[in-house]
Amino acid sequence: MKITTTRLFGLPEITPEEVYHLLGRPNFHTFDNNSTRSYMKHHLPGAIHLDPGDYSAGDLPNDKQATLVFYCSDPLCGAGPYAAKRARNMGFEQVFVMPCGITGWLKKGFPVEQEIKNGAA
């Protein structure tokens, strides 16, 4: 079994395939914890960008039973697990990390969104 930051933090992991099948479902939310530049370049459809160390419960859904998925760049990145741990400490119970991050998502060929700034991607 591979040791990941997610496992060290005691958080459950979720695969890109599981996330893909849950996208768009009620009370299912994804959070991108990469840099703003990375988020603008590509992120999961509907993902909200959050700074892993600088967000409040007000940035998350009101429903503490909502399913929250956090991710960053890859299995060695600690931003997603750190942000997920903060959400868990705020009282959210259904908190998951997609440890393969956006890199693993792209390798699977799943769709992404981009933020357009000044008319260019």
pLDDT tens figures, 54-106: 999 999 999 999 999 999 999 889 999 999 999 999 999 999 999 999 999 99
Complete domains list, the chain, with CATH: 5-107 (3.40.250.10)
The one-letter amino acid code at 109 reads G
Query: Which pTM value belongs to this model?
Result: 0.92
pLDDT over 70 (residue 1):
no
What is the spatial distance between Cα 98 and Cα 19, in angstroms, rounded to a whole number?
8
* 81 phi/psi in degrees, rounded to 5: -60, -40
Average pLDDT, the chain: 92
Longest dimension (CA), the chain: 45
Nearest CA to 71 among 48, 37, 41, 94? 48
Q: How many CB atoms lie within 10 A of CB 105?
A: 21
Predicted confidence band at 118 (pLDDT cuts at 50, 70, 90)? low
pLDDT over 60 (residue 10):
yes
pLDDT over 90 (residue 34):
yes
Give the per-residue pLDDT at 55.
Answer: 96
Give the per-residue pLDDT at 52.
Answer: 94
Residue by residue, DSSP assigns 42-84 as -B-TTPEE--TTS--GGGS-S-TTSEEEEE-SSTT--HHHHHH
Give the per-residue pLDDT at 121.
Answer: 45
More confident site: 50 or 8:
50
Q: How many CB atoms lie within 10 A of CB 53?
A: 10
